[in-house]
Amino acid sequence: MPKCPNCGAKVEYVRILLTKPFPCPSCGRQLMVFESYFKRFRVFFTAVAIVVGAAVTWRYWLAAPRTDAGLFQAIALFFLTFYITMMVVIIFGTIYVKRIFPPKLEDYEEYSKQAHYTPL
């Protein structure tokens, strides 16, 4: 289970938000997940949705008529399958991926101070 970098308290997976800062349940400091974790998360889920969409579309295309209407239906099927898979993977993925690959937390307040600091 991930720990707060300030006080060392364990942070429950339910409290961890991937897209915005969240408070530590023990000390109240604002924490955030490293940006690279969220980027890898997004790339993985997009790849899964593309593979599922392509597999379903390929299966349909093998049996579909080779006409303009069949091509349009295959493209529509790909996008429909892609978006439905993306929603399902995001909903269930956020629950399970955080447990399989625990995110490393950082102090948002320290990060924002460093980001806005411009030396002369």
- HEC per residue, 24-39: CCCCCCEEEECHHHHH
Whether the per-residue pLDDT at 71 is higher than 90: the answer is no
Are the CB atoms for 19 and 103 separated by under 8 Å?
A: no
What is the pTM for the complete model shown?
0.69
DSSP 117: -
Are the CB atoms for 1 and 102 separated by under 8 Å?
A: yes
CA distance 70 to 76: 10
**Residue found by looking up tokens 């997009």 in the block:** 46
pLDDT digits 0-9 by tens, 38-53: 888 889 999 999 999 9
